[in-house]
Amino acid sequence: MIKELLPIGSIVKLKNDNRHILIINTGFDNENTYLGVDSEIGFNTDDTIIKFNENEIESVYFTGYLDKEINKSLFEKSMKNIKDE
């Protein structure tokens, strides 16, 4: 089953975490699909970056901006992640 990545700017709630997390990077590496920050604080230092995967997302509050080019890029990253598994 192919799951497309959420775009940058999306806001999610993670399991066991009450914060609203703003996605700042997608398709990060083989261990962590997303990089995010607390949407109320933003990025201060590297310590404020949250690494997570799609299985850790409990709900999506907002989906970031998508157009044809961004959607194509996210699809390609999704396919690359599947091949790397």
Average pLDDT of span 18-24: 95
List residues bridging with 57 in a β-sheet: 14
Give me the pLDDT at residue 61, please: 95
Give me the pLDDT at residue 85, please: 58
Residue 54, domain member (yes or no): yes
Domain count, the chain: 1
Residue 27, domain member (yes or no): yes
Which residue from 12, 20, 9 is spatially nearest to 53, judged by alpha carbons? 12
- The per-residue pLDDT for range 37-78, each reduced to its tens digit, is 998 888 888 788 999 998 999 999 999 888 888 778 777 777
Residue 16, domain member (yes or no): yes
Cα of first residue to Cα of last residue in the chain, in angstroms, is: 13
Residue type (1 letter), 67: D
